[in-house]
């Protein structure tokens, strides 16, 4: 059986007057039903190749709902029987998105082997890091061997160079065995440029967007097109045992129906989740800044589980790197990082200079939890769509990278790490493709150069997207983990994730209970996480911050930090996560390997404990309390002199 209960060998083709089924050595006439579906006298057998001949054209075309394209996107389809794979994840009960830490990876550059089976060898790394869910970039079939996957044309078939459908199932099965959920990035906003035969069968397309032909989801004949999308999504979740889908650029899905495709999809996925008795998550990528996508259906929304939050990324990127070109310009506004951390959307019905208009809608922080937003320091787009595909470590010092990681992993949002970020990988992640058609390949090459020429880049500085060397450069170098500076950053990420898992306060998604304090010019921030405080010094000078209550234990610090009473002293470009209030309670909770973590210094050897106590802050008699940055604490000179302690950590 195919997706949606349709036999392999049947096809929806309302436009042709004649459809024939091709199998090796045989061509059979098909009969049409009243819905425009054509059925063969005998369906092809499991493992058998097949294709369709439309009207009097003898060109074999692959099945639009193909589950297997072993000969590439232009070749015949092959019948794939899901029932023949032997799963071992019968005890898997799923993984909920709230409280999880995500890890985005691209199978073709995650390892030098570029396959699912090669990726299996690194699942221990992800489990040891503390990852909860792996988000795999698109694996649907596309033309060529290497590519990002967003130009797929056979949406239900797994890219054969990665290993095909059985290899993907082995990957999911192995992830579940290690306690890792698996999300898949899928693309329903356009079809790729090579192998897009859908429009020969029926009215699948309706105009174009910036990437290619857009799907007809609201015009004549769109019922079956919508079913095509929904059945594809359900097939991935049900037949490949996936735990959720990331929906690419949903703002490019043009749907004017009363019930939007996303709402219909969410309802069907919720029904499937109930039947499978495990949570299934739909995560949107959208630049609309519209909370309706993640508002429940009974409250008038679409009912998606979450969405990527680029505003949080942009605010962090500007604060850490100082880059303010293009769409980053607005995020250089005073207080942008603190404001965005508090409410997820910076553009919330406010002016967007990049768009030349007002943009977005406010998030109701009293009703919308932070777990409806995925936040990140980097992702495939924000690296790969840069001219050179350069990562943050190329322009941001280790101390600020550590601060950024701490803000993301101690925030009320769902944190996501892009592959290699956890060890400050030096490999770039660049745009690449491998279209065999010389004309298409050259068009992609010229388009990439023209895009960045308008920003002042010389052609010679733009990596050739069709060169195999670009793929090689973009592949993670796992030997970097032996270098102290990479190893120390990895240990920092492990410590932060361990603390997030150990302290429920750090994963608490309630935005109405989340407070962010900031100093002048955002030189420092303090995130209130229940009784815990994450203090970050983003400036190039040491700073003393007065917390709202006396500090207890420094759970993790990225450089030598100390405190007395409510005063916390941080070196330049560093952070500290501290307990406050009833410190003894938290010290008891900290029993175990994650207790009072001492992390190694980035670029140096392991850190060493620092004796408790630090010099009292220098408070000028005539200056008054305003001379000390205040994070909401009392004006109490005795508190300032109270004893404290400190730890060294990652720098």
Q: Are 348 and 362 in contact (CB under 8 A)?
A: yes
Rg (CA), the chain: 27
CA 285 to chain centre: 9
159/455: higher pLDDT: 159
**pLDDT one-digit tens code per residue, 353-380:** 999 999 999 999 999 999 999 999 999 9
Among 52, 84, 116, which residue terminates a domain? 84
Residue 438, in any domain of the structure: no
Question: What is the mean pLDDT of the segment spanning 327-348?
Answer: 97
Residue 514, in any domain of the structure: yes
**pLDDT one-digit tens code per residue, 555-578:** 999 999 999 999 999 999 999 999
**pLDDT one-digit tens code per residue, 607-627:** 333 334 465 444 333 233 334
Q: Containing domain of residue 620, as a range?
A: 486-496+504-647
Question: What is the mean pLDDT of the segment spanning 46-64?
Answer: 97
Q: How confident is the model at residue 581 (pLDDT cuts 50, 70, 90)?
A: confident
Residue 588, in any domain of the structure: yes
Residue 313, in any domain of the structure: no
Q: Are 412 and 531 in contact (CB under 8 A)?
A: no
| CATH (domain of 551) | 2.60.40.1180
What is the structure's pLDDT at 641? Answer: 24
Q: What's the whole-number average pLDDT of the chain?
A: 90
Active site residue 627: no
CA distance 149 to 165: 15
**Range in 137-141, 161-165, 330-334, 458-462 with the lowest mean pLDDT:** 458-462
Which residues lie across from 11 on neighbouring strands? 38
Active site residue 263: no
| CATH (domain of 54) | 2.60.40.10
598/174: higher pLDDT: 174
* Pick from 330, 345, 243, 341: nearest CA to 293: 345
CB atoms within 10 A of CB 188: 25
Residue 195, in any domain of the structure: no
Catalytic residue among 173, 264, 285, 505: 285
What is the structure's pLDDT at 461? Answer: 85
CA distance 496 to 299: 35
What is the structure's pLDDT at 450? Answer: 87
* Pick from 59, 56, 51: nearest CA to 18: 56
**pLDDT one-digit tens code per residue, 626-641:** 344 555 443 332 232 2
CA distance 619 to 637: 10
CA distance 362 to 345: 7
What is the structure's pLDDT at 152? Answer: 96
What is the structure's pLDDT at 8? Answer: 83
Catalytic residue among 49, 231, 248, 569: 248
Element (H, E) at 200: helix 198-201
Token readout for 283 is 């995560």
pLDDT cut 70: percent of the chain above it = 88
Element (H, E) at 262: helix 261-276
What is the structure's pLDDT at 631? Answer: 56
Q: Are 543 and 627 in contact (CB under 8 A)?
A: no
Buried b (16+ CB within 10 A) or exposed e, 495-521: bbbbbbbbbebbbbbebeebbbbbbee
Among 32, 51, 84, which residue terminates a domain? 84
**pLDDT one-digit tens code per residue, 411-453:** 999 999 999 999 999 999 999 999 999 999 999 999 898 888 7
Residue 347, in any domain of the structure: no
> Is the pTM above the cut of 0.85?
yes
Among 61, 84, 107, which residue terminates a domain? 84
Q: CA angle at residue 90 from 86 to 95, to 5 degrees?
A: 120
pLDDT cut 90: percent of the chain above it = 85
Residue 381, in any domain of the structure: no
**pLDDT one-digit tens code per residue, 497-543:** 999 999 999 999 999 999 999 998 889 999 999 999 999 999 999 99
DSSP string, 18-78: -EEEEETTEEEE-EE-TTSEEE-SSPPPTT-EEEEEETT----B--TT-S--TT-TTS-EE
Q: How many domains does the chain have?
A: 2
């Amino acid at each position: 059986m195919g997706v949606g209960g349709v036999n392999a060998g049947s096809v929806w083709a309302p436009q042709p007057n004649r459809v024939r089924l091709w199998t090796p050595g045989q061509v059979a006439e098909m009969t049409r039903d009243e819905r425009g579906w054509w059925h063969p006298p005998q369906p092809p057998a499991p493992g058998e190749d097949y294709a369709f001949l439309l009207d009097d054209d003898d060109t074999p075309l692959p099945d639009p709902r193909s589950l297997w394209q072993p000969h590439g996107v232009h070749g015949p389809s092959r019948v794939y029987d899901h029932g023949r794979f032997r799963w071992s994840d019968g005890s898997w009960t799923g993984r909920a998105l709230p409280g999880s830490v995500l890890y985005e990876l691209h199978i073709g550059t995650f390892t030098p082997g570029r396959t699912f089976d090669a990726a299996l060898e690194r699942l221990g790394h992800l489990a040891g890091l503390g990852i909860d869910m792996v988000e795999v970039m698109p694996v649907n079939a596309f033309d060529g061997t290497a590519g990002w996957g967003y130009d797929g044309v056979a949406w239900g078939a797994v890219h054969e160079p990665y290993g095909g459908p059985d290899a993907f199932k082995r990957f999911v099965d192995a992830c579940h065995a290690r306690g890792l959920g698996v999300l898949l990035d899928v693309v329903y906003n356009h079809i790729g440029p090579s192998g897009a035969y859908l429009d020969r069968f029926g009215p699948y397309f309706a105009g174009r967007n910036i990437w290619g032909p857009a799907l007809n989801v609201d015009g004549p004949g769109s019922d079956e097109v919508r079913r095509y999308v929904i059945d594809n999504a359900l097939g991935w979740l049900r037949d490949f045992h996936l735990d959720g889908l990331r929906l690419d650029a949903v703002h490019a899905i043009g749907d004017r129906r009363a019930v939007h495709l996303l709402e219909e999809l969410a309802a069907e996925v919720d029904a499937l989740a109930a039947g499978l008795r495990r949570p299934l998550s739909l995560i949107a990528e959208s630049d609309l800044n519209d909370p309706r996508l993640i508002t429940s259906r009974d409250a008038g929304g679409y009912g998606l589980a979450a969405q990527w939050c680029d505003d949080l990324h942009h605010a962090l990127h500007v604060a850490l790197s100082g880059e303010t070109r293009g769409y980053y310009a607005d995020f250089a506004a005073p207080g942008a990082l603190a404001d965005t951390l508090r409410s997820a959307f910076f553009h919330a019905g406010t002016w967007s200079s990049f768009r030349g208009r007002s943009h977005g809608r406010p998030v109701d922080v009293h009703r919308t939890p932070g777990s409806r937003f995925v936040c990140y320091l980097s992702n495939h787009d924000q690296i790969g769509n840069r001219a050179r595909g350069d990562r943050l470590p190329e322009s941001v010092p280790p101390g600020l990278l550590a601060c950024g990681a701490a803000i993301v992993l101690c925030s009320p949002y769902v944190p996501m790490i892009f592959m290699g970020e956890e060890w400050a990988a030096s490999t770039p992640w660049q745009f690449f493709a491998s279209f065999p058609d010389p004309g298409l390949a050259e068009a992609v090459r010229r388009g990439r150069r023209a895009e960045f020429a308008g920003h002042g880049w010389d052609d010679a500085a733009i990596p050739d997207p069709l060169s195999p060397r670009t793929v090689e450069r973009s592949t993670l170098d796992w030997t970097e983990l032996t270098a102290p500076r990479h190893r120390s950053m990895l240990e920092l990420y492990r410590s932060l994730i361990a603390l997030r898992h150990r302290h429920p306060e750090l994963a608490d998604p309630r935005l109405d209970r989340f407070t962010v304090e900031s100093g002048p010019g955002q030189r420092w921030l303090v995130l209130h996480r229940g009784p815990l405080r994450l203090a970050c010094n983003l400036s190039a000078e040491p700073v003393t911050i007065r917390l709202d209550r006396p500090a207890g234990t420094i759970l993790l610090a990225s450089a030598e930090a100390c405190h007395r009473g409510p005063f916390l002293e941080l070196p330049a470009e560093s952070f500290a996560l501290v307990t406050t209030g009833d410190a003894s309670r938290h010290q008891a909770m900290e029993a175990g390997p994650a207790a009072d973590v001492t992390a190694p210094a980035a670029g140096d050897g392991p850190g060493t404990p620092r004796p408790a106590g630090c010099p009292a802050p220098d408070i000028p008699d005539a200056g008054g309390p305003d001379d000390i940055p205040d994070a909401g604490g009392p004006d109490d000179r005795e508190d300032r002199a109270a004893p404290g302690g400190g730890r060294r950590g990652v720098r």
